[in-house]
Chains A and B, each alone.
Chain A
Amino acid sequence: MRAAVRLVAPVILAAIFAYSGWVKLAHPADFAAAVAAYRLLPPAGIGLVAVALPVFELLLAATLVVPQWRQEGAGIALALLFLFFTATAAAQARHLNVDCGCFGPDPWRPLRAVPPLIRDGALMAAAAIARLAPNLDRGARRR
């Protein structure tokens, strides 16, 4: 059971980051507008985040499914999700009309149904499991 959880957590994270990165990449203007709505970054920062973050998420998904990079990928995913959580909480505290922009303009319904902070919290838990669980592939790496 524990082994299943350790294996499933990074795979779920990878699938979600791959989906998230892909829909952002497909709708760059919508994603840039969503980033701008947070009112946290200057115009140059908004452009760079809108251009780089979708690709970053796709590459991060790849690291989560490669055994040799899984633990590092999980740590980076945890940090990134914490960043998303903080930005969303800050926007809500300022009563901003923010569409989180996490999964593009027309998110898959089950993802849209979960409030962003709860979703980020659950994904952070999955990332922590993937990071802290003993590395099942350690033996393979040493060889």
Chain B
Amino acid sequence: MTRPAPWRPSLRDGKVLLALAVGSLSIGWTLNRIRPDAVPIPYVPRKPVVVSGDLTLAEFSALTHDATALVLDARPGIFYELGHVPGALSLPEEDFAAAFPRFRDRLESARVVAVYCADPDCEDARQLQSHLTARGVANVAVYPDGWQGWSGAHRPAEKSAR
């Protein structure tokens, strides 16, 4: 029997795809029924970790893993390049007016915005929070311990250019 040209979909492709689809739905559904951290079907978004006030390390850490949250580093860019929280974007408080338009779409689509700077004595995060709130961005929370608290807790760091 001649095998069809490899670039053309064949009946065998369809059978394998069907088997994979049925198998993955069955296994996935069953696993989801028995696991404690099951995903609701239909999906219901998780409630925001926090919508006001300051963030604890655990809350901030959870937001760094949340695809609907935006983490902003308010320190001057040089410090961001030396090391920052994974996934954080650099928005130095001193550059806010010039940089804000670049962040507008991301800020509008984020469910929660978490801001940090160097340490508890640093004012940049609070000022950035004020700027963002004044521009109508909702759910902006500060992680007050900043980079010092994060790195002191031996959390992962990332180095990248702005």
Binding site for B on A (CB under 8 A): 25, 27-30, 32-37, 42-44, 46-48, 50-56, 59-60, 63, 69, 71-73, 75-76, 95-99, 101, 105-106, 131-135, 138
Contacts and interface: CB of A to CB of B under 8 A. Distances in A.
B16 interface: yes
Contacts of B37: 28-29
Which secondary structure dominates chain A's binding surface? helix
Those 9 A-B pairs whose CB atoms lie nearest each other, nearest first: A47-B41, A43-B42, A95-B105, A105-B65, A56-B24, A46-B43, A55-B24, A99-B67, A72-B16
B109 A30 contact: no
Given A32-B39, A33-B67, A55 B9 contact: no
Nearest to A60: B20
B156 interface: yes
26 contacts: A27-B65, A28-B32, A30-B65, A30-B67, A34-B67, A36-B45, A44-B43, A48-B41, A52-B24, A55-B23, A55-B31, A56-B24, A59-B20, A59-B24, A63-B16, A76-B20, A96-B109, A97-B105, A97-B109, A105-B65, A106-B65, A106-B86, A132-B6, A133-B6, A134-B6, A138-B3
A52 B16 contact: no
A29 B31 CA distance: 14
Interface residues of B, number: 43
B154 interface: no
Nearest to B9: A75
Contacts of A75: 9, 13
Contacts of A50: 39, 43
